[in-house]
């Protein structure tokens, strides 16, 4: 069939608040509560800009194309912010609301349809056996938007027809380029150390520096220097201009020490923590700009900006036609929810300038593209539960590999180990290998006592790979596996076994605890930390327990008596 038939020539109905109208009258669309709504679609068979005006309050605009999909087709789409281990190709019946774009692969090739990045509405696609529906959420919070006399540049619809002989992966990458004209490149690949999956927010500056020094010594001699990112746990409770009592070192001093190690400083930041009720207030963008200016003055070169959706949306893992599912009473009803959130992302970018790398975490995917250099594309992996890493890590890398280099540098999250034996080496070794070959960001969360010879060799090789530019690793079996096992890594076919077991399990490491911990064994949970520590130390004395090392304040999160 001709390309233009698949694209825009067959728009059959346009609706405002679900009132369906003939295709030959899109410029006079009216509906309940928006009698004066006007929708303009201007473009050609490859791209069409959608502009909306209405003096009456407006909620949704829906567009429909008549189309019959092939019976054997498979479907794929975006996520509002990141994957949660479940993203993959489905049948038409299982293709729920697909945020931002959809891809159909059938007998005659791979077709794509979506909206360009950084739209001013939330856009999702609903597919049925006889049609395609585009849902545009124009609300302000959960209330109708009041546009007044202005015209809303809602989005630009783009589409790509099938190319004979082209693989779905190649088609997906080409379509991402059509959706994102100007991705924000990184000057060099982003990699290094992050303390979250070994400290889980209970670290000290001294512990952070010791672990970072031990891990990043494995990157000695590499021209592209690694980052050391202090994740959640350094900050004071009520703001971002100082540290908490446990951390024990001013952040400018930490940055100086990292630079003296020839390491680039980075830190974690949750900008909307104190503004969850109403991010439309002008003080929000002003405060964020001030925070980021402070971080820059301290000497930090990377910001991992987190909770960027949850803190206003109040939900995780949204599989809905819009991310606005809670009651959001925002004071400014003249801007759409998308305009407000996107405006905050732009404020972050402007404050960071060109010399600070931003990693978006829990960030709206279509808003991060073109604004942030790096984007976390999956939910958290783990330093103590392989099931989480297996679920979220390979899925994120595989199902968002086509975004790498076209939207941003992909971040599939960290390789972590919170205590010896927590994750079987046969599994973690493979995750190290794939993540470092993916072309995306590569971060390690590892305590220094667990750096045995096997780990050192693997991480040294991984840092060398991750420090240089690589093409995106292509998941060969991504249409059949949600955690792909077969990958084309720079022309080399590599197969991974995510259920592998080491021939010789690593024995637990013996320890003595001096300082605060979360809990020891199940019977002790809920007791004051001092009481738990006293019992541990008394056991050590009575039983003459041998130990391998001492764990100081904040060096560990989960432990059992006698083992870390």
Q: What is the DSSP string of 94-120?
A: T---EESEEEEEETTEEEEEEE-SS-S
Task: For the beta carbon of residue 80, count every other beta carbon within 10 angstroms.
Answer: 21
Read off the pLDDT of each residue in 171-187 and give the average, rounded to a whole number. Answer: 97
- 202 three-class SS: coil
Task: Pick the most confident of 66-70, 145-149, 437-441, 553-557.
Answer: 437-441
Residue 295 or 522, more confident = 295
Range of lowest pLDDT (86-100, 198-212, 305-319, 517-531) = 517-531
Residue 139 or 149, more confident = 139
- pLDDT tens-digit map of 500-513: 988 655 554 444 44
- pLDDT tens-digit map of 372-396: 999 999 999 999 999 999 999 999 9
Q: CA-to-CA distance for 263 and 224, rounded, in angstroms? A: 10
Which CA distances in Å does 257 have to 203, 232, 236, 241, 294? 17, 19, 20, 19, 18
What is the model's pLDDT at position 560?
Answer: 31
pTM score: 0.87
Would the pLDDT of 264 be above 90?
A: yes
Would the pLDDT of 316 be above 80?
A: yes
Read off the pLDDT of each residue in 234-259 and give the average, rounded to a whole number. Answer: 95
Query: What are 51's two structure tokens?
Result: 């502009």
Q: CA-to-CA distance for 471 and 382, rounded, in angstroms? A: 26
Q: CA-to-CA distance for 79 and 398, rounded, in angstroms? A: 14
Confidence of residue 70 (pLDDT cuts 50, 70, 90): confident
Q: Radius of gyration (Cα) for the chain, nearest Å?
A: 25
Would the pLDDT of 108 be above 70?
A: yes
Would the pLDDT of 300 be above 70?
A: yes
Q: Which helix (H) or strand (E) holds 16?
A: strand 11-16
Would the pLDDT of 231 be above 60?
A: yes
What is the model's pLDDT at position 518?
Answer: 35
Confidence of residue 130 (pLDDT cuts 50, 70, 90): confident
Read off the pLDDT of each residue in 352-375 and give the average, rounded to a whole number. Answer: 98
Beta strands in 168-210 (DSSP E): 191-194
Domain residues of the chain, as ranges? 3-179, 511-551
- 498 three-class SS: coil
Read off the pLDDT of each residue in 351-362 and give the average, rounded to a whole number. Answer: 98
Would the pLDDT of 527 be above 50?
A: no
Confidence of residue 36 (pLDDT cuts 50, 70, 90): confident
Look at residues 68, 58, 71 and name the one whose alpha carbon lies nearest to residue 31: 58
Residue 108 or 16, more confident = 108
Read off the pLDDT of each residue in 447-467 and give the average, rounded to a whole number. Answer: 97
Query: What are 101's two structure tokens?
Result: 């774009």
Angle at 44 between CA 8 and CA 343, to 5 degrees: 90
Confidence of residue 14 (pLDDT cuts 50, 70, 90): low
Task: Pick the most confident of 62-71, 221-230, 512-521.
Answer: 221-230
Would the pLDDT of 104 be above 80?
A: yes
């Amino acid at each position: 069939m001709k390309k233009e038939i698949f694209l825009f020539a067959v728009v059959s109905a346009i609706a405002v608040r679900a009132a369906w109208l003939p295709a030959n009258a899109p410029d006079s669309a009216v509906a309940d509560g928006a009698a004066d709504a006007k929708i303009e679609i201007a473009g050609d068979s490859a791209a069409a800009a959608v502009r909306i005006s209405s003096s009456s309050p407006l909620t949704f605009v829906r567009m429909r194309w008549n189309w019959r999909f092939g019976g054997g087709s498979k479907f794929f789409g975006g996520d509002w912010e990141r994957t949660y281990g479940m993203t993959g190709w489905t049948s038409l019946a299982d293709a729920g609301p697909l945020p931002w774009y959809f891809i159909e692969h059938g007998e005659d090739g791979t077709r794509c349809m979506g909206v360009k990045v950084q739209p001013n509405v939330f856009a999702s696609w609903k597919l049925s056996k006889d049609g395609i529906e585009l849902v545009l959420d124009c609300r302000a919070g959960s209330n109708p938007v009041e546009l007044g006399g202005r015209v809303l540049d809602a989005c630009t619809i783009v589409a790509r027809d099938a190319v004979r002989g082209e693989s779905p992966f190649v088609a997906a990458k080409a379509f991402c380029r059509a959706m994102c004209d100007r991705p924000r490149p990184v000057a060099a690949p982003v990699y290094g150390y992050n303390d979250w999956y070994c400290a889980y927010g209970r670290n000290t500056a001294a512990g952070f520096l010791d672990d970072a020094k031990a891990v990043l010594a494995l990157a000695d001699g590499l021209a592209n220097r690694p980052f050391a990112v202090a994740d959640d746990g350094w900050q004071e409770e009520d703001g971002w201009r100082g540290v908490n009592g446990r951390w024990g070192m001013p952040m400018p001093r930490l940055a100086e020490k990292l630079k003296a190690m020839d390491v680039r400083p980075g830190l974690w930041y949750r900008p909307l923590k104190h503004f969850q009720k109403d991010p439309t207030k002008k003080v929000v963008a002003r405060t964020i700009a001030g925070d980021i200016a402070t971080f820059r003055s301290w000497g930090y070169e990377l910001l991992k900006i987190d909770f960027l959706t949850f803190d206003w949306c109040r939900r995780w893992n949204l599989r809905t036609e819009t991310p606005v599912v809670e009651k959001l009473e925002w004071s400014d009803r003249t801007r759409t929810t998308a305009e407000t959130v996107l405006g905050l992302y732009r404020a972050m970018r402007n404050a960071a300038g060109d010399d600070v790398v931003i990693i978006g975490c829990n960030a709206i995917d279509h808003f991060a593209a073109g604004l942030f250099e790096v984007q976390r594309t999956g939910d958290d992996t783990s330093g103590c539960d392989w099931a989480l890493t297996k679920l979220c890590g390979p899925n994120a890398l595989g199902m968002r590999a086509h975004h790498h280099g076209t939207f941003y540098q992909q971040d599939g999250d960290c390789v972590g180990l919170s205590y010896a034996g927590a994750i079987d080496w046969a599994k973690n070794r493979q995750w190290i290998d794939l993540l470092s070959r993916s072309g995306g960001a590569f971060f390690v969360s590892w305590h220094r006592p667990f750096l045995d010879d096997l780990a050192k060799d693997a991480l040294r090789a991984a840092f060398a790979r991750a420090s240089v530019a690589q093409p995106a690793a292509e998941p060969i079996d991504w249409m059949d596996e949600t955690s792909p096992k077969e990958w084309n890594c720079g022309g080399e076919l590599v197969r991974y076994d995510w259920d592998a077991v080491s021939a010789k399990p690593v024995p637990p490491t013996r320890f003595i605890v001096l300082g605060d911990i979360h809990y020891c064994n199940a019977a002790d949970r809920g007791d004051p930390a001092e009481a738990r520590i006293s019992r541990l130390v008394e056991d050590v004395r009575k039983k003459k327990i041998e130990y391998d090392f001492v764990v100081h304040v904040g060096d560990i999160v989960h432990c059992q008596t006698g083992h870390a």
